[in-house]
Amino acid sequence: MAPALTMDDLYLADVNKFDIWDRRESAVGNPQLWQQACESYKSTPHFKSGIPHKIHQIWIGSRQPPCVWLDTWRIQYMNKFANVEYSQKDWQYIMWDNDTVRDMPMLNRSIFDKETAPQCQADILRLEVLYQYGGVYIDADIVSTQKDLRPALELANDTGFLITYEPDTKDKPYSVLGNSLIACTPKHPLILMLMSYIKQIYGFKRAHYGVEWVTGPLTYTKTLIHADMPVTIPPSKHFYPAFHYIPNPSAVDVTSFDSYCFQFGYTCSGLSEWVAANNKCQKAHHCNYHANIEYPLGKLKQFPKTISPVPKDGVIPNVIHQFSFQPENARPHRWMSTWQHKFCPATGFKYELWTWDRLKKDIGLFYCANLYNSSLMDESSLRMLALEVLESCGGYYIPLSTIFVGHETDPEAAAKIFGRGTGAMFESGSIVGSATHGCTAKILECYENGSADSTSSAQLPSSVVTDMKIGDDRAAFASFRYGSRHLGASRIYFAPTDRGDAKAAASSSSAMIWAYDCQVPIFNLSSDAEVVSSINGADGRVVVITDSLFGAFSSLIDELAGVMYRFVEEETEWDYIVFNVEWETDSDGFEVYPCTSPFRSPTARYLGFIANKHVTKEVSTVNVEQVLAEYGSGKVFVASEKSRHTAKLASIYRTIPSIERACSWLAGYFPDFNRDSDEVHGDTLKGFRNGQIAFELQVDDEQRVMYRTWGSSGGIDCECKIQQGLNGLSVEWLRRYQDGQVMYETTGEFVH
């Protein structure tokens, strides 16, 4: 076996003599020597052991780390794959930060210490880490799509080195390798080669060129591709499914990509502000940045050095706890009163309602204060907050959408719900209970796992509790109305095919508010099988929502109750009513007609169906196609909101009343949508008056609308970004101008 090479063994020709993109510039002069070294390396134990299952990420410098992305690896990926048996190997996650690299031995330590740009330091450090330990290096702005990386690493079994091209290099003379994700075995000759290449060109080029052309992609391309080194290069789409210019990460569903990961582009997309606004760190106690900052509920409460396990015996106080973070007049008082005014007086339980101000006043410090926010929290964070309240006060936490339906004179009501046994912890359905100071160990366990999601399979007794399974991440923040309307159905089911994504979450809030208005329970069940089983047990008509954009069509929703009422009045025989929106029709308006075909209209979007009482036991699917297939009975009808426009243009026009309401209500501005002509470009409508642009409307796939209007002088008059819901308008921001200056500005408003 040939002796191992050193950094001094790399020879570069023509350093700093040609244009940086010229292949002759800083070309590897002795590629055969390094190719031979790679061949000899295959006989070493490092190569034979394969690429270690270690994930390395780096964050150095003073800026806050993007933990919202890092946690997809160090928590979500590790929880899913770290303990999976696979050739007796588990995953290990290592975060390299200022503290961990301060005294770390480095071959390029002098360059690292000289460099002042954290991005360049990270480029140098990733090679040092990979050379010493091997594994997978992943940039901090890359998120996991929760697919196992092991099959990808196996692709490199014959080289021990995996890298791929950047996704979009059309603006460059030739394609370049991306150094955002690299996988290799320890002591790999090609990592040593890259470190030597950087060391030799750094002094000539760093002062004149950007980081990416000195320690980044161009260096990898010249070293590995132009010198024809033996590396494994899978298709870019497996790791970079789209070019990483993503100005709004919130609009991206990364799980929709058939790839191992997705890169947002922290620097090139200018995402520092987005990160600051969305940067929830699930490992705050272990994060040098997030462990020391002030949160809305104060600084982190430190876990005790020793924590006793959850005791088997204990007494849970007879106290009901609920959360409400909306204004008092927007709370779901009808749901809350089932516990506060019905259950508690009859059973001797105490009722405690926790608002944001009360949490700050009465609880003090929180172990996971980093997870809590008064304007928005996910379901796991709210459950963690509930555990912290129970740790302090003891009792039972009950989400707002879990309501008491038993009889207040039933002496067994409490026993039916909470049981008779002793124990410091209780969990059933959506309810969790704890003795005072009885769940510190549970809180720590949830923190370590990165999730406080319920693990209980126990179900609450339906005779006394209706558990709608709509979390407080929606119910505790939504704006409910005091009014009510009759629907003519006994239950609503929220069952879109894309239950897990952001659009479904937003739509479930709209569906929940609609159900509350109609005084009908709504169920957000986890699978179609659960929905079908529940429908089969229903004692009246049911509404099944099958599309996540249901909440965007408020005028159609308002018509559904009237359809059922008219059918009763006219004694129409019907089994199902399918409701949809249709575009490119002959007229505008709402129409109900018999279904005459089992096929979906290609210009329609089907939002769900209503099943009449006598057919609920026959329902075997929530698939609209199966409902349409029953058209031959003559008892299947379609309730349709029709538009002569295309789907995109109709969605744009639908936003105009919302824009008028938001601008006039908040800013006293009355938009003028009159125009001499207009142009439609994809999701954008531009209106023109007197040869000048007058306004612009843009609607995205989640029905968020951006509006901007110009005055006769050509200056902007008003602009805003809003989203329509069933209960009103969510105004992300709105600005009104006068003489080019902002005269009114607001953010985070809600308009009923």
Chain segment 308-334, per-residue pLDDT in tens: 776 677 789 999 999 999 999 999 999
Q: b/e per residue, 232-260, with b = 16+ CB within 10 A?
A: bbeebebbbbbebebeebeeeebbebebb
CA-CA distance, 31 to 29, in Å (whole number)? 6
Longest dimension (CA), the chain: 93
In a domain, 1, yes or no: no
Q: What is the CATH number of the domain that holds 129?
A: 3.90.550.10
Residues 6+ apart with CB under 8 A from 50: 153, 157, 160, 185
On the question of pLDDT at 234 being above 90, the answer is yes
Contact call for residues 30 and 182 (beta carbons, < 8 A): no
CA-CA distance, 228 to 225, in Å (whole number)? 5
- Angle in degrees, CA 37, 42, 48, rounded to 5: 150
Q: Which of 642, 676, 692 is the last residue of a domain?
A: 642
Segments of 107-260 assigned E as strands: 135-138, 142-144, 161-165, 177-184
Average the pLDDT over each of 62-66, 274-278, 537-541 and give the range with the smallest value: 274-278
- Angle in degrees, CA 560, 699, 710, rounded to 5: 125
On the question of pLDDT at 2 being above 80, the answer is no
Same domain, 563 and 683: no
Contact call for residues 542 and 585 (beta carbons, < 8 A): no
In a domain, 532, yes or no: yes
Q: If we measure between CA atoms, which residue out of 630, 586, 598, 585 comes closest to residue 612?
A: 630
Residues 6+ apart with CB under 8 A from 174: 21, 221
Confidence of residue 87 (pLDDT cuts 50, 70, 90): very low
Same domain, 381 and 422: yes
On the question of pLDDT at 704 being above 50, the answer is yes
Contact call for residues 576 and 621 (beta carbons, < 8 A): no
Contact call for residues 67 and 54 (beta carbons, < 8 A): no
pTM assigned to the model:
0.79
Question: Considering the chain, what percentage of its residues have pLDDT values greater than 70?
Answer: 94
Same domain, 19 and 87: yes
**From the CB of residue 650, how many other CB atoms can be counted at a distance below 10 Å?**
19
Same domain, 269 and 230: yes
Confidence of residue 4 (pLDDT cuts 50, 70, 90): confident
Chain segment 137-188, per-residue pLDDT in tens: 999 999 999 999 999 999 999 999 999 999 876 678 889 999 999 999 999 9
Confidence of residue 654 (pLDDT cuts 50, 70, 90): confident
Same domain, 373 and 495: no
Same domain, 513 and 387: no
Same domain, 50 and 164: yes
Name the residue range of residue 725's domain. 648-751
Confidence of residue 255 (pLDDT cuts 50, 70, 90): confident
**From the CB of residue 581, how many other CB atoms can be counted at a distance below 10 Å?**
23
On the question of pLDDT at 86 being above 50, the answer is no
Q: What is the CATH number of the domain that holds 490?
A: 3.90.550
Q: If we measure between CA atoms, which residue out of 610, 598, 526, 607 comes closest to residue 564?
A: 610
Chain segment 583-609, per-residue pLDDT in tens: 999 999 999 999 999 988 899 999 999
Q: Which of 217, 245, 278 is the last residue of a domain?
A: 278
One DSSP character per residue, 596-658 reads --SSPPTTEEEEEEEE-GGGGGG-----HHHHHGGGGGS-EEEEEEE-SS-HHHHHHHHTHHH
Same domain, 316 and 389: yes
In a domain, 2, yes or no: no
In a domain, 472, yes or no: no
Contact call for residues 700 and 732 (beta carbons, < 8 A): no
pLDDT of residue 501: 56
Same domain, 356 and 488: no
pLDDT of residue 35: 97
The number of distinct structural domains making up the chain is 4
Confidence of residue 84 (pLDDT cuts 50, 70, 90): low
Same domain, 620 and 655: no
In a domain, 6, yes or no: no
Average the pLDDT over each of 82-86, 445-449, 530-534 and give the range with the smallest value: 82-86
Same domain, 80 and 213: yes
Q: Which of 247, 278, 309 is the last residue of a domain?
A: 278
Looking at per-residue pLDDT, the higher value among 698 and 87 belongs to: 698
Long-range CB contacts (within 8 A, 24+) of 418-426: 418/316, 422/313, 422/314, 422/315, 423/312, 423/313, 423/314, 423/316, 424/310, 424/311, 424/312, 424/313, 424/314, 424/316, 425/310, 425/314, 426/316, 426/396
Same domain, 501 and 390: no
In a domain, 286, yes or no: no
CA-CA distance, 249 to 245, in Å (whole number)? 10
HSE-up of 692 (CA within 13 Å, CB side)?
10
In a domain, 97, yes or no: yes
In a domain, 476, yes or no: no
